[in-house]
Amino acid sequence: MTDVEAALAQIGAAGLLRELRTIEQTAGGRVLLDGRDALLLCSNDYLGLAQHPAVRAAAAAAAEQWGAGAGASRLVSGTLAQHAQLERELAAFKGSEACLLFGSGFLANTGVVAALAGRGGVVLSDALNHASIVDGCRLAAAETVVYAHADLDALAAALARAGDRPATIVTDAIFSMDGDRAPLEGIVALARRHGARVIVDEAHGTGVVGPGGRGLVAELGLTGEVDVVVGTLSKALGSYGAFVCCDARTHAFLVNRARTLIYSTAPPPPSIGAAREALRIVREQPALVERLRSNARALRAELGRQGFAVEPGEMPIVPLVVGDPRAAMELCERALDAGVFAQAIRPPTVPDGTSRLRLVARADHDEADLVAAARTLARLR
């Protein structure tokens, strides 16, 4: 048995083997998967913009004008006029001095954290941060300290131990597997006290929370207080790629030091065209964000009525913790048979013993479908 075969056998024995699922059709928050029609309840396309006619048309128009790919990295010949235009639009949307596009959210986080957390410093990372942040910390020359999830006392103690060393605090704004919020006001206060830099990943906040979907940083009035805000184009904006909002000096530094920017081909023109149109829709149609919040409230309320331990609220990410990974997969398959696609999430994506169905409400869901899905899950659990 080879090392690869042995590893796969071990993964399978633990009930953690992953396989790709192929969606055959998708429209309006529903999918055809393995010949079964189902409500799509596990997508990060929060506003349903990936299928929006205007967004699709903008992607096609960008491909016609600029081609299918950028052809080179940002620093060679890959930076196109529409890249620069989207950067200006995102900077205005987020209230920052500058913005820099990356090829993906993973590339943005790994590149930014590794570049800014330098040798001789310390980077402090929330225990439930996304894998891209974790890998950015691993690539950084700084010492990494992982503090207990959303624990300001633990963060304060870690900052005190850092002493006079340069410190960088990095956290998700909205945690992707639980849908809870980082205590950003407390984090910023501690950063001010200790002279630390703050990096916030708004991947699941942009288009979801805050005024007009501008994110948690904006909602808490911390625009200008957070040094770097990372976001993706691939979730609420329905496209692909990522962005980093910061001041002009940090922008210049990242252009020269973020390896995932320097050595990656620029985001393709169709993705940029789609993202620009999606951002225009978010700016001009705030009712779409309110629709998302309304659907999230409806899903949470019905799950609560059905006896699930779900708090009321407006966050569209709703974890239904099962515990055992095999039980989570079994519930996932039974739900799919009943017309609800809610993918099981297992370790190492979530901690041991917390395998779950991660439900996600979308703006283009029908409220009646969400209520029916909650009742279906209650019947099957």
Active-site residues, by number, are: 176, 204, 235
The Cα 159–Cα 195 span in angstroms is: 10
Percent of the chain that is helix, strand, coil (3-state, to 5): 45, 20, 35
Q: How far is CA 93 from the centre of its chain?
A: 18
Q: Is 142 helix (H, G, I), strand (E, B) or coil?
A: coil
**What's the chain's Rg over C-alpha atoms?**
21
For the chain, give the number of residues.
381
For helices 53-66 and 269-284, the axis angle rounded to 10 degrees is 140
- Whether residue 133 contacts residue 113, with contact meaning beta carbons closer than 8 Å, is answered with yes
| Structural element, H or E, at residue 145 | strand 143-147
DSSP of 279-302: HHHHHH-HHHHHHHHHHHHHHHHH
The Cα 294–Cα 376 span in angstroms is: 20
The Cα 224–Cα 246 span in angstroms is: 9
